[in-house]
A and B are shown apart, each in its own frame.
Chain A
Amino acid sequence: MRASKIPMLIAGLALWAGQAFAQPSQPQYSADGLYNLANSYARAGKPGLAVLSYERAALLAPDDPDINANLAYVRASAHVSMKPRNRLARLVQAASPTSAAWLGVLGLALVGIGLVARKVARRFLWIPGGAILLGIALIALTASNALLLWPRMHEAVILIHQTPARVSPAPMADTAFVLREAESVTIAGEHEDFMLIRTGGGLSGWVARANLGAVVPPVGGER
């Protein structure tokens, strides 16, 4: 009875996932396209939009040296500091998030198959044991990759020069501090047309939604 329900459940989930993937999607992103777009913005003297596009390109191709070099160059030109990545982060993020996701799936499969194989195998039990270890390593890689990328899901780039960060989400509110164009901030909340941001230095303020661009745009809305 139980064995007969599992395939039906899996089939239903696969059908839902297939429908979800099959939805017509809207803007198409590619690392090269975003990189070229960022170069165009940089040439046009718009460092904010350039950094935003470089950041998005780096999401898709974190190990692309051109993207990282131009991102660093534009940030330096805009006098915006850039936090260097440590060795572990560079190692973990050597794989693109897409590759890491599929490697995680592979690791999960290896662990599962290894466990089942160890249950039924009579000889060569080191083979499923090795598969389990490899699978665990791949899952750990994927988890680390996701853990490091998680903060960037809430990152945004200031697009306008001398953007005021206000003390409250109102256009006439007092200015708490001023942000540079191309500066990266963390989105901590939102209220109507304002977003609560936090800078690398720990300052918080409300910035008009139009003055910044989220590195990962919200689903269904491109900024």
Chain B
Amino acid sequence: MHWIKVIIANLYLLAPAAYAMAQTLDDLAYETVEPSRIKLGESAILRVISFGRIKDITLPTIPGLVFEPIGRSQGFDFINGSTLPATFYSIRITPQFAGVFTIPGLTPSSRPVGLEVVKGDEPNPYTWHSQQPAPAPLPTASLPKGVQLQAGGAAFVHLAIPGRPIYVGESVPVQIDVGLRAGLVTSVNGLPTLKGSDFTFNNLSKQPERREETIEGGAFVLLTWHSALAAVKPGEFELSAEAPLTVIMSALSAVDRAVASRLAFPLLQSMYSGIAPRDMTIESSPTRLKVLPLPTEGQPENFSGAVGDFQVSSDVSPAGVAAGEPLTLRLHIIGAGNFDRVDSTMFGHLDHWKTYPAKSSFIPTDAVGNEGEKVFEQSLIAAQPGDQSIPGLEFTYFNPNTRRYERAQTPAIKVAVAASLASGLSLNGASATVAAQGLLPDHRALQNSVSELRPLYFRPPFLIIPTSLALLLAGSWFAVRPRAAHATSKAAEHVLAELDAAARAGDSSSFFEAARKALLQTFAARWQIATDQITVADLKARLGTTGEDVERLFAIADEARYSDNQSGGTDFQRWLSLIRGQLAGERE
């Protein structure tokens, strides 16, 4: 009880102060003109911010200026760090001639503001030192049709879809715009989502487009996401989008806000204002979309469900190959539509070619994958050389623009297939019988095999053979001695020829002299003694009975030399025989 009394006493004490503050706030207001310097033909915005209970504002009358009220809105303004409820009045000012105008305060407590109107590109004397251009004013826009501000005027969300009926499976782009009033929306708590169970949606673009606009007199930040949707069944459906936000707003009712506005003391007012960030989800108004079924009439058998507008082309790489080598056939499908249903098996079977399963890749050219290029790649191997032709590829789709099924076909591609190294390569499970040109056939008869590729003359074991042979022949060469008679054969033949000639001529003196000389030289060489040391005893001892004949020959030679005796000339042949025998090495 004691504490209750204390509180009531304090309230009594504070009431006059609160009343005084409320009266003060009733009179609190200020004005701004943006921009304060404009060209003739442009407009400026006069903004009146009032914190009191002003019911209406009377527009001033100033020659040369036309005032036009734009709007009035409730909101909050920050004064010395405190958030206070305020009323915003926006008035467009359009000048009629150049000059400097003073606009008086439109509320009792607001002060006059100035507006300068220039004729053209006159330099601004207040900004002559600045090279920076003045920021462009925000573009002015209006709310999309059928869209209302939500969260106390802090934000809106708008879903833009095609107005025309779409077909089942058709991929159409959608756009979600979320408008956020500057200063009131503190954060966007996630990506906006599309609501509609009868559709499939592509992922939203990762980063929204951002722009700033003035909508209904307030600065808004507009975030735009893109996506694509496709209907799964025909009918009429509703679609909407929602976005989670955090908005600064008062949680009090209008009555409570009126009470708060009467609190004179700003601190108390801010304490009692009930303003706080609040998480909420705003939703767009539902949009109706009519989905048509695909026509069954004229639907091709190979229709894969692709709906859109496409162009096709094909190519191969490399342009020329050898038989047995792979090449890549590509089918390019470019356009806009549901690329997830764009499919092609390429060639399941192709004469003279070995085919492999195709694989595909998609390269989007927009943020949501509604436009782009899908490429199908198939590896082919030519089975035989020569000029080959790869038939054209066909792709069937439904074009929602023409509302009929269309066939797109690529032209046939000619490929020059050269002779392959792999003449016997097995293709399609069967042995190719065509021999490759340029590669000569196998040998049938096998020659003798060797155990080592190194040539014989580089192998140590083989080198034994010539080495041994060389040693053998060298040994033989050294072992074989030339015969003595052979060694002197030429000289002996020469002497014998000389003796023969002397005998035929009957010249016994020359005959016996030459015979004695030749025999002495032969004996000296044979017995290794000098010719003048050969005695009669040596002849008898070494030659035996032949020695006596030799001794007699030497005696006849002396006789013939000193007495010119020609006796014994008839015995030339016997003496020649004896001499030939001795020169030939006839041993004693």
Which of A's residues lie within 8 Å of B, judged by CB?
2-3, 6, 9-10, 13-14, 16-17, 20-21, 25-33, 35-36, 39, 42-45, 47, 50, 56, 59-61, 66, 69-70, 73-74, 77, 97-98, 100-102, 104-105, 108-109, 111-113, 115-116, 119-120, 122, 142, 145-146, 149, 153, 215-217, 219
Query: Which of chain A's residues has its CB closest to B474's CB?
Result: A112
Contact flag A20-B461 (CB < 8 Å), given A3-B475, A43-B439? yes
| A77 adjacent to B322 (CB under 8 Å) | yes
CA distance A33 to B436 in the complex (A): 20
The one of A16, A43, A115 that contacts B464, using a Cβ cutoff of 8 Å: A16
With A30-B450, A108-B470 known as contacts, the answer to whether A44 contacts B465 (CB < 8 A) is no
Partner-binding segment picked from B117-125, B178-186, B362-370, B421-429: B421-429
A69 to B439, CA, bound (A): 8
Q: Which 5 A-B pairs have the closest CB atoms?
A: A112-B473, A25-B451, A97-B455, A20-B461, A101-B456
- With A17-B468, A45-B422 known, 20 other A-B pairs at CB within 8 A are A13-B467, A13-B471, A28-B449, A29-B451, A29-B452, A32-B445, A33-B446, A43-B425, A44-B422, A47-B421, A59-B453, A59-B455, A66-B440, A74-B439, A77-B421, A112-B477, A119-B480, A120-B483, A149-B458, A216-B453
Choice from B442, B445, B453, B461 contacting A17 with Cβ under 8 Å:
B461
Please name all residues of chain B whose beta carbon is closer than 8 Å to the beta carbon of A145 when the two chains form the complex.
455, 457
Verify B436–A26 contact, CB threshold 8 A.
no
Within the complex, the shortest CB–CB distance from B521 to chain A, in Å, comes to 20
Tell me if B324 counts as interface (CB < 8 A to partner A).
yes
Say if the beta carbon of B111 comes within 8 Å of chain A. no
Which of B440, B455, B469, B480 is close to A69, meaning CB atoms less than 8 Å apart?
A: B440
B190 within 8 A of A: no
Q: C-beta contact mask, B320-346 vs A, less than 8 Å → 1, else 0? A: 001011000000000000000000000
At the interface, yes or no: B298 with Cβ under 8 Å from chain A? Answer: no
User: Taking A30-B446, A44-B425, A69-B440 as contacts, is the C-beta distance between A116 and B322 under 8 angstroms?
Assistant: no
CB-CB under 8 A from A100, the residues of chain B are 455, 457
Q: Which of B439, B448, B458, B469 contacts A112 (CB 8 A)?
A: B469
Closest chain A residue to B453, Cβ basis: A216
21 contacts across the A-B interface (CB closer than 8 A): A3-B475, A6-B471, A13-B468, A20-B461, A20-B464, A25-B451, A29-B449, A29-B453, A35-B442, A44-B422, A44-B425, A59-B453, A74-B421, A77-B438, A97-B455, A109-B469, A112-B474, A119-B480, A120-B483, A122-B489, A219-B454
Q: Does B476 contact A (CB under 8 A)?
A: yes
Q: Give B461's nearest chain A residue, CB to CB.
A: A20
Contact residues of B with A, CB < 8 Å? 322, 324-325, 420-425, 436, 438-443, 445-458, 460-462, 464-480, 482-483, 486, 489
Interfacial chain A residues near B466, Cβ < 8 Å: 104-105, 108
Q: Would you give the shortest CB distance from A166 to chain B, in whole angstroms?
A: 28
Chain B nearest CB, measured from A104 CB (Å):
6
B458 touches A115 (CB 8 A): no
For the complex, give the distance between the alpha carbons of A21 and B476 in Å. 27
Say whether B475 contacts A32, CB under 8 Å.
Answer: no
Contact A119 B482 (CB under 8 A): yes
Contact across chains for B443 and A70 when beta carbons are under 8 A apart: no
Bound-complex Cα distance A6 to B474 (A): 10
A64 to chain B, nearest CB (A): 9
In the complex, A69 Cα to B462 Cα: how many Å?
31
Report the minimum CB–CB distance from B11 to chain A (whole Å): 85
* CB neighbours of B423 from chain A (8 A): 43
A43 to B435, CA, bound (A): 10
Give the contacting residue for B454; candidates A32, A74, A153; CB below 8 A.
Answer: A153
Q: Collect the chain A residues with CB atoms within 8 Å of residue B442's CB.
A: 35-36, 39
Report A-chain residues with C-beta under 8 Å of the C-beta of B324.
Answer: 45
Asked whether A42 lies within 8 Å of B421 as measured between CB atoms, the reply is yes
Note all chain A residues with C-beta closer than 8 A to B452.
25, 29, 219
Distance (whole angstroms) from the CB of A93 to the closest CB of chain B: 11
Q: Judging by beta carbons under 8 Å apart, are B480 and A116 in contact?
A: yes
A15 to chain B, nearest CB (A): 10
- Contact residue among B424, B436, B469, B486 (Cβ-Cβ distance under 8 Å from A108): B469
**Assembly CA distance A97 to B448 (angstroms):** 14
Inter-chain CA distance A219–B425, complex, in Å, is 34
Q: Which chain B residues lie closer than 8 Å to A33 at the CB level?
A: 446, 449
Question: CB distance A36 to B439 under 8 Å?
Answer: no
Residue of B nearest to A10 (CB): B468
B479 cross-chain contacts in A, Cβ below 8 A? 2-3
Chain A, residue nearest B455 (CB): A97
Establish whether residues B424 and A43, one from each chain, have CB atoms under 8 Å apart when the complex forms.
Answer: yes
A49-B258 Cα distance, complex, nearest whole Å? 97
Query: Is there contact, CB below 8 Å, between A30 and B439?
Result: no
Within 8 Å CB of A215, what residues of B? 453
Q: Say whether A98 contacts B469, CB under 8 Å.
A: no
Q: Is the CB of A116 within 8 A of B453?
A: no
User: Whole-angstrom distance between the alpha carbons of A42 and B426 in the complex?
Assistant: 14
Q: Across the interface, which residues of B come within 8 angstroms of A112, CB to CB? A: 469-470, 472-474, 476-477
A17 contact set on B, CB distance < 8 A = 461-462, 464-465, 468
Tell which of A31, A56, A142 touches B457, judged by Cβ atoms closer than 8 Å: A142
Q: In the bound complex, how far is the Cα of B478 from the Cα of A153, in angstroms? A: 38
Chain B nearest CB: distance from A8 CB in Å? 11
B471 A101 Cβ-Cβ under 8 A: no
